[in-house]
Structure 1
């Protein structure tokens, strides 16, 4: 399988897993949805878990790149970028294909800490917290890591609730909650 075919398979598998879940999508269904035979899938990925890990790597790259670009496009000053995290989330929640967070799903389906899929899900959240801490430090927060953790908690809760309820009001509520912790951490400036 060529690199471009492999990349195409990973992207299609990502879409299937995002829509249907990891355990619910068996290899027969995955082969049907991706248009790639099980034999061809197994030539490139020893196990289904290896394919899941590849989809999570791709999703991490896609999501973090998207979020960083949107935050930078939505606000030009460091403090404004902290708020822009939640404006970007509101846009994501409004997308017709929004189905919560792939990493939240993965960690709930692969619950054992130390499992590679669970570990990769935790690493995604760690990388987001690091990005939030960089933004918080640039905005002048006295405790940037603490603010980053608080914003991550608000973000993650908002994702879960947006999947369960009306995403529009969840995004607004999350932004207001974030405003309170941002203002406390960096002032109203």
Structure 2
């Protein structure tokens, strides 16, 4: 009979810290609570991380790496259009929401618990969020959106709303609804592109065509 693989102390600490930081809050979670949840000795924490602050940094790294893996590995391997890869992102969200260890987004929790002038926590979470949004924007650019910044912002808000909704409702249904909303936006992008292609003049030099394209995607002049 195969024995279950035992997790190393550093991994136990990470999993316990992430769960508690999301469930109980970062400030409300003390080192003793993390050690009890992880079932490891205090020496393990200081050996592998040195402090609760460094443990939080490691938790933020793990969350960011999940998103980077989605954008850099999982989505590029799909043999489909940029629009379909964007929609596939919501499928990944749904899979994440269904996991037992989904307790919301540690970035949101970290920013919400720290004041605006707080040091590294908000900066680190903000930097990671910016990097993730930039990767999303790259997909939007590939889709041919005439105003990728606006479209990216819309999709970003849908994603963040889905994460918070899934956290509150404890249901993956939010990912499905978010996917439908994203599909509506992408269809508007496709419609704007079709208007530009059928125009006798380039979209930028044809005021009527440009106006219709902007109206379809909700973009500004």
Provide structure 2 residue ranges, at least 5 long, that are not aligned to the other structure: 1-7, 195-221
The partner residue of 1:62 within 48, 61, 66 is: 66
Structure 1 match to 2:154: 150
Please identify which structure carries the higher helix content.
Answer: 1
In the superposition, the TM-score normalised over structure 1's length comes to 0.81
State whether residues 71 and 88 of structure 1, in contact with CA within 8 Å, keep that contact through their aligned partners in structure 2. Answer: no
The partner residue of 2:95 within 91, 94, 97 is: 91
Partner secondary structure for residue 75 of structure 2: helix
Task: Please say which of residues 129-138 and 32-41 is displaced more in the overlay.
Answer: 32-41
1:51 and 1:12 map into 2 onto residues whose CA distance is 10
Structure 2 match to 1:170: 174
State whether residues 49 and 117 of structure 1, in contact with CA within 8 Å, keep that contact through their aligned partners in structure 2. Answer: no
1:7 and 1:171 map into 2 onto residues whose CA distance is 28
Q: Which has the higher contact order (CA 8 A, sep 6+)?
A: 1
State whether residues 67 and 88 of structure 1, in contact with CA within 8 Å, keep that contact through their aligned partners in structure 2. Answer: no
2:98 and 2:78 map into 1 onto residues whose CA distance is 16
Partner secondary structure for residue 145 of structure 2: coil
* Shift of residue 71, structure 1, vs aligned partner: 3.2
Structure 2 match to 1:21: 25
Structure 1 match to 2:139: 135
1:94 and 1:68 map into 2 onto residues whose CA distance is 22
In the superposition, the TM-score normalised over structure 2's length comes to 0.71
